[in-house]
Structure 1
Amino acid sequence: MLERFYQIVDSPDWLTRLCPQGLRLAQLRIKDKSHGDLESLTSRALQIARAHQCTLVINDHWQTAIELGAEWVHLGQEDLDVADVKAIRKAGLKLGISTHTEAELDRAQAHDPDYIALGPIFPARGKQVDYAPQGLDRIAQWKTRISCPLVAIGGIRLEQAAEIYTAGADSICVITDVLADADPEARCRAWLQASSQ
């Protein structure tokens, strides 16, 4: 069963801070690093996560995930163009896939993912995205069409958590709402409390 709160981080240092707060599901999203740096950072992140019984999902870098014995990988639609999903499955990894449109949902489902992410639910705060906000109704629609857990992501604040869970999301994934907070540890704890109700 997927945890109800899901945090994306860009460094193992965040796991050092947030895992002790009780974080049990995180994604490591590292961009623009050499292979050596990527391998080193991913290895360290896996060590920290495992020490805290936190499930770590590796974003994009499926070969590194396989090499280091990770349990999960997350692919965006553009990553599906180049990823070897058969190799990912043969290695025993679980798979999450991003979706934004009906066509992308159909494509994702063809890979029998372990979760499907839908976003952005609200206007994204942390990065430029090419898709309009999906809104709560789309969560409910997606939920009726899939058999795996549904992850809501994009522009979400803690104060919106209850309505997103009510709409049908199994898990809520955030970046900015915790990492840009004045007290990320406290914000993470508040998310964990909200997601346990």
Structure 2
Amino acid sequence: MSLASRIYPVVDRADWIDRLGGAGARLIQLRVKDLQGAALLAEIRAAKAHAARHGVTLVLNDYWRLALDEGIDFIHLGQEDLDTADVAAIRAGGIRLGVSTHSTDELDRALSVAPDYVALGPVWPTKLKKMPWAPQGVERLAEWKRLVGPVPLVAIGGITLARAASCIAAGADCVSAVSDFTGQPDPEAQVRAWLAATGDMT
């Protein structure tokens, strides 16, 4: 089992998928927290169109029902999302699934649903949202990789271009970030730099 890329930008708007996908990113998550109803649906549809044009594997955060309705074939769920998600329906719909983890208990729970990847974070401190979990460190990535075996491992949280390669070396199959892509003056150049730093040949 493998992911489409070693780099995994997380963005909040469809236009970013057009920009970063055009620069070479092949695995991008759309995580929208401030829209609902028609506006949310329009953003998801635009993201799907941009992803198709650039050959990007689009991962939709949280909205598994909309993923089923709109033909999005990859979703990401947090631990709290697993409380209410219908995993059987997700699997019956042919949707691939990534799950966030922060502890061994959460990892056990994630592995019980046979995920297509497991994410571990935050590897370093992150300012994007309040985290109840202490930074995991790259050493935990090596531990997680031993525990997950063939399941792809995604590192996320406080990761920068300078830190990306160390995550891959520690055992991560893929490295994810938000602001280190979208907060840069030249996001497209940043994608290319991340691809080079992680040895991604996509």
The answer to whether the 8 Å contact 2:73/2:94 transfers is yes
Give TM-score, length-normalised by structure 2.
0.95
List, as ranges, runs of 4+ consecutive aligned residues in structure 1 with deviation greater than 6 Å. Answer: none
Residue 183 of structure 2 is matched in structure 1 by 180
Alignment of 1:57-136 (within 5 A): 57-136=59-138
How far has the Cα of 1:188 moved from its partner? Answer: 1.4
The answer to whether the 8 Å contact 1:143/1:168 transfers is yes
The answer to whether the 8 Å contact 1:125/1:176 transfers is no
Alpha-carbon distance in structure 2 between the residues aligned to 1:21 and 1:125: 26
Give TM-score, length-normalised by structure 1.
0.97
Quick one: which of 147, 150, 153 aligns to 2:153? 150
The answer to whether the 8 Å contact 1:143/1:150 transfers is yes
How far has the Cα of 1:157 moved from its partner? Answer: 0.7
Q: Percent identity?
A: 49
Per-residue CA deviations over 1:1-59 (Å, capped at 9, x if unaligned) read 21111010100011121111011000000013122211111011001001100000000
Q: Which runs of 5+ in 1 are unaligned?
A: none
What root-mean-square deviation, in Å, do the aligned CA atoms of Structure 1 and Structure 2 show? Answer: 1.0
Task: Say which structure, 1 or 2, has more relative contact order (CA 8 Å, 6+ apart).
Answer: 2
Per-residue CA deviations over 1:115-155 (Å, capped at 9, x if unaligned) read 00000000013222111000011100000011300000000
Alpha-carbon distance in structure 1 between the residues aligned to 2:136 and 2:53: 36
Quick one: which of 10, 34, 45 aligns to 1:32? 34
Alpha-carbon distance in structure 2 between the residues aligned to 1:136 and 1:18: 26
Identify which range, 96-105 or 176-185, moves more after superposition. 176-185
The answer to whether the 8 Å contact 1:77/1:104 transfers is yes
Residue 56 of structure 1 is matched in structure 2 by 58
